[in-house]
Amino acid sequence: MDLKERVCDELQKEVPKGASSTNFNTQHQQKWEDPSSTLDYSTRIEPPFQAFNQTCQTQSLLLCNNQIKVPMQDGSINDLLQQASKIQDWDPSAMLNNLSFLEQKIHQLQDLVYLIIAQKGQVLGRPDELLVQQQQLVTADLTSIIIQLISTAGSLLSSVKQTLSAATTSLGQCGEFGGVVFPSSAQRLNDGVQPQNAGGSKVSEPQNSIDITSNNGNEQNNHIVEEHELKDEEDAEEGENLLPGTYEILQLEKEEILAPHTHFCTICGKGFKRDANLRMHMRGHGDKYKTPGALAKPTKESSSEPTIIKRYSCPYAGCKRNKDHKKFQPLKTILCVKNHYKRTHCDKSYICSRCNTKKFSVIADLKTHEKHCGKDKWLCSCGTTFSRKDKLFGHITLFQGHTPAIPSDEIKVAPAGTSDGATNKVGSVNFNLSSYVSSESEVQSSSMDIKGGIDDAVGYFSPLSFDTCNFGGFHEFPRPPFDDSESSFAFLLSRSCNYSQKSGEE
Amino acid sequence: MLSFQSSKNVLSLTEDLLVRIYELLAAESDRKSFRLVCREFRRIDSLTRRHLRVIRIEFLPILLRKYPRLQSLDLSACPRIDDGVVSLLLTRVGPGSNSPSLGHWAWGLKSLVLSRATGLRFSGLEMLTRACPCLESVDVSYCCGFGDREAAALSSAVGLRELNMDKCLQLTDVGLAKIAVGCSKLEKLSLKWCMEITDLGIDLLCKKCVDLKYLDVSYLKVTNESLHSIASLLKLEVLGLMACPLIDDVGLQFIERGCPSLKVIDVSRCEGVSSSGLIYVVRGHRNLLELNAGYCLSELSTALLHQMKNLNHLEVIRIDGARISETSFQVISANCKSLVEIGLSKCVGVTNMGIMRLVSACINLRVLNLTCCHSITDTAISAIAYSCRSLVCLKLESCNMITEKGLCQLGSFCLLLEEIDLTDCCGVNDKGLEYLSRCSELSCLKLGLCTNISNKGLSYIGSNCLKIHELDLYRCTGIGDDGLEALSNGCKKLRKLNLSYCNAVSDRGLAYIGRLEELSDLEMRALHKITGVGLEAVAVGCKKLADLDMKHCEKVGDSGFWALAYYSKNLRQINLSYCGISDMALCMVMGNLSRLQEAKLVHLSNSTVEGVELALRACCARIKKVKLFAPLRFMLSSEILEILHARGCIIRWD
């Protein structure tokens, strides 16, 4: 499908938007932000809607390596998108007039584009003088349609500021969004609205998906799904339950996501990560950039206006964070997008220098890991380590047969408790009053090994009474009333067998 | 005695008939007599015996060889068991030996009791679990040193169904996880006092061991999260939550919706639980059999009472310490007709009228605890006696208003009464004991602080209650030697006797005590008249004496202790505090009593530091708990303290 025709088509269907319509509307709005349909004609224009100003166009050109034939058109569409949110309050009758006017206009334009297609079939691949003229004509017409549409829509919506601010703050970024502004009142209008992603996936054609795979081929190789131990922004929004259609979905392209800088100097082209840094840099280009106004942070719109919630989609097809995914979960901020993309779809190039095993694709993750590296004391029998006990237990719950491993350093402690050989020997130490301390060395030298004590079986089962002791020191004491005391000590040894049968059990 | 003719007939019986006869012998003493008849009978005994409780570890190898078909082995009375012993038992007799391999005994073993085996560690335990492939039940309660490694060793017993790990103090979630994963067939698990266990461990346990029927997490610092996990156990019947301080009503709400098979729940002493929490439990479980809510309710509220109307199957309820009104009794008796036991200990508001209402319908009551219900009088006792003819146990401690009239009613109607606690009931006199002695089934009688009873009263008990095995005469100052004479003539089965502070008892009385051959527990604190002669008589006569408390018996001299050391071979616990024992005698007592596990040796007036040191050395291999005079901590050699510690002995300094 040709772009122009498509644009006309879209615009045509855009018409009933102002009226109290519906999922039909949203479905086709969806197309605008649908990356697959974008890729459909990406041979010619990629990414679309980027020619908002010269700077970002050049930047995009650099990134995309694409020739862009209809910058104006793109810009105007972008304009439309920006302006579409202007609609504030709407007067139905006035709007109906405007819409019918638009319809006429669009039909005219449609015819013109049909004509172009017909010509194009004949002069395929040859950028003709005529074609350029026709394109300009179409562009002019489109522009007028758009302006009309905007003024119409302006009565309906009032969210220009949002997009405008986005345009000013992130000059480079706005070209990167393949976004559509969803009116905040859309919910009211489109009561029966279907989930966007469902609509989006319906629109996408099989041919597109092939394009995508070839396009992202190298990324798929890097596609590693992993569990993030770090709680990041992605996790934070898991529980968010935004109704589809109540927020604006923006999608950055892979190249933009991976670009080291997002803010570029319009004069020298130097890139910066932060807008504030860019503003500081700009001071060097002249006094006009030193005014407080130029240096001030671009102000956000007054909070009285209802703000459109912006959410981001991952450009990786099939990813849960991609808007075409059935259970699409949007990403909250650009930073989330960047971290998500790097973590999930990129190589893990940062390796922890301490353990040499853990790899990360986001350097902040590596730094966080390095803080805890070596402190992962929660170990599973499968060899996986965890920094937190609950993570380990979650893992064990999940996997059949896995158990927590007990750290090996405890082994060293345990034999101290099993030094039974030692204590047994102490039990049968010579009980001379003077020399009981001498057994200390014996305690230390006695074997810790259980089996070492096996030879001394008698020692284990001996009753450990005084019969094994030397009573040299006790003979001075007055004899106890039981004169047979010596035989009493021998009692257990001499008659132990009989004893066992009589009272060795209960 | 069998005549010659009949004995010939008996001896000519075939082996299988003898086995049958043997199996019909229930009492252990009967079986003992059986195996003493002749070699053939002894052979039958050794072939058929399934259970063995070993008292002296030195005979364990012989016994294991003698009884090859053991299924249940109880080693709780030999705390000296350690890894070395286990290793010997399992490996010493190899195939080359002429005796049957010792390892054989372990093959059929299903139940193993290792309670208080503090000498055992994980390596020994692992050897045991490996050697016993059929192991189904293990008890390692009170092995305070047990932790995760021991749990890991136990987890290799995959067929384990019952496990008691009470007071395995080092056990953490990691060890519990080991068991939960390894022993997934677990049905019964007790984790009392395993203080390191947290919600994480309980959660994993509930996910892995879904067959759990019995779970006791009493005293643990677990929270409502654990109850949330526990609620998912579909087969759970018994849940013990005693004194879990972090559990509250919100947690019990989970129980309301979960645990569909719950029959017994114990939330006693849970500080956070109130009656609304119990309402959840009762509402969710109409078939509850036992509800133990002692000391967690301030009042038995009407809302809870209203819910309890539905508990038609309830058999046991304990609401100790709660305020209860007379109408509540009416509701309970009208609805919970199958009640067998009710505990009202220290309840406020228990009146004669309330009790009369209660027993009017609950006629099946067998156990009634009215401890410290001070306003109870003979009227209530009469009503109980008249209605609950099958009463077995009645606790009336501190019910001061009870007199001989009440006891008369009990003696007339409750002829099945086995246990009665009349401690501190000063209304009990000799006449009352005469009435009570008509309960000939009485086995446990507590008369502590009943100062109005005399030798005469005791003689009624001695002549009629021949089945008594526990008698408490604490501070019954009216009791003297004559009473003990009557007692020793009749109550031959007495196993536990408390004579503390019965000042009138002298050596002659102890000589009568010496006639009680079954006596195992004797408490005789502060008997100032007794000397070594009396102790000698006890030591010689009471062969089974296991627990002796003779604190403050200052006149007992060394001759008595020598006798003790010589004769009381079964002594396990001894309290010698404030006794005039000499170094020599102390060493003899501690060294020669080879079963001694616990000793209290505080304020020994005639002993020196060296004597105590020597005594500890003599017993250090087997002693498990010792109480010593605090200053000795710095006077004893560090070596002996280390040895004691290494053997798992707990020292209490006083």
Q: Percentage of chain B surpassing pLDDT 70? A: 96
Asked, for residue B640, whether it belongs to a domain, the answer is yes
CB-nearest to A396 from B61, B83, B181 is B181
Cβ-Cβ contacts under 8 Å, B52 against chain A: 505
B50-77 residue pLDDT tens: 899 988 888 888 888 888 889 999 998 8
| Residue given tokens 């001299």 in the structure block | B557
Average pLDDT of B1-12? Answer: 56
Residue B238: DSSP 8-state: E
Q: CA B3, B8, B11: angle at the middle one, nearest 5?
A: 120
* Closest-approach residue (CA) in chain B for A435: B614
Question: Are B56 and A500 in contact (CB < 8 Å)?
Answer: yes
User: What pLDDT was estimated at residue B114?
Assistant: 94
The boundaries of the domain holding residue B639 are 547-653
Cβ-Cβ contacts under 8 Å, A423 against chain B: 620-621, 643, 646-647
A183-225 residue pLDDT tens: 444 344 344 434 444 333 343 344 443 343 334 434 333 333 3
A391-402 residue pLDDT tens: 999 999 999 889
CB-nearest to B82 from A420, A427, A463 is A420
| Global pTM value | 0.65
User: What pLDDT was estimated at residue A154?
Assistant: 67
pLDDT at residue A55 is higher than 50 = no
Cβ contacts below 8 Å, chain A against chain B, sum to 185
Average pLDDT of B127-143? Answer: 93
What is the interface pTM, i.e. ipTM, of the complex?
Answer: 0.84
Residues 6+ apart with CB under 8 A from A442: A422, A425, A426, A429
What DSSP string describes B139-184?
E-TT-TT-BHHHHHHHTT-TT--EEE-TT-TB--HHHHHHHHHH-T
Average pLDDT of A416-435? Answer: 37
Asked, for residue B204, whether it belongs to a domain, the answer is no
User: What pLDDT was estimated at residue A289?
Assistant: 82
Q: Report which of residues A27 and B462 the model is more confident about.
A: B462
User: What pLDDT was estimated at residue A185?
Assistant: 40
Q: Which of A418, A438, A447 to mutate to test the interface with B (most CBs of B within 10 A)?
A: A418
Q: Report which of residues A151 and B510 the model is more confident about.
A: B510
Total number of domains constituting chain B: 1
> What are residue B147's phi and psi, to 5 degrees?
-140, -150
Q: Point out which residues pair with B53 in neighbouring strands.
A: B74
User: What pLDDT was estimated at residue A151?
Assistant: 74
CB-nearest to A500 from B62, B122, B152 is B62
What DSSP string describes A431-449?
--TTTGGGGHHHHHHS---
B24-42 residue pLDDT tens: 888 888 888 888 888 888 8
Average pLDDT of B373-387? Answer: 94
Residues 6+ apart with CB under 8 A from B418: B392, B393, B441, B442, B443, B444
User: What pLDDT was estimated at residue B319?
Assistant: 94
User: What pLDDT was estimated at residue A409?
Assistant: 54
Average pLDDT of A229-242? Answer: 48
Asked, for residue B181, whether it belongs to a domain, the answer is no
Give the three-class secondary structure for B289: coil
User: What pLDDT was estimated at residue A503?
Assistant: 39
Domain spans of chain A?
A: 102-115+137-151, 247-295+308-350
Asked, for residue B86, whether it belongs to a domain, the answer is no
Q: Report which of residues B227 and A498 the model is more confident about.
A: B227
* Closest-approach residue (CA) in chain B for A454: B88
Q: Find the CATH number of the domain harbouring B598.
A: 3.80.10.10
Nearest-10 Cα torsion for B544, B549, B553, B554: 110
Give the three-class secondary structure for B343: strand
Average pLDDT of A169-193? Answer: 41
CB-nearest to B584 from A421, A443, A474 is A474
User: What pLDDT was estimated at residue B377?
Assistant: 94
* Closest-approach residue (CA) in chain B for A395: B204
